[in-house]
Amino acid sequence: MYRQGDVLIVPVTEGAVPSHVPDAPREPRDARGRLVLALGEVTGHAHAVPGRGELVREPGPYGPFLLHLPEGGRVVHEEHAAIALPKGWFRVIRQREYVPGSVRLVAD
């Protein structure tokens, strides 16, 4: 399990990847060619994967994402140390906070 700020990255075995994922649409890369796992609404900084990989958004209001890194990779952010990830599948979960009457993503 890995954490970078408000992003939790959990390894997923190949057998636990949902059957619809191979045919699911992939998230596009940003203008810098990165897979953005979470974008800071306040700072504009991003938790992102600059190398090879694919990102699939799961249904629901808060994601989560499924990240596939066929050769491993790194998660980078302007204010955090980079995290090296081995090859494989990962569930990317954004931290949420309770606000009376609802739940929202933590604002970065």
> What digits encode the pLDDT tens for the residues 8-49?
999 999 999 988 888 888 999 999 999 999 887 666 789 999
Alpha-carbon distance 27 to 45, whole Å?
18
Mean pLDDT of the chain: 84
How far apart (Å, rounded) are the C-alpha atoms in residues 105 and 108? Answer: 9
- How is residue 24 annotated by DSSP? S
- What pLDDT, in 10s, does the model give residues 54-105? 999 877 655 678 999 999 999 999 888 999 999 999 999 876 555 566 544 5
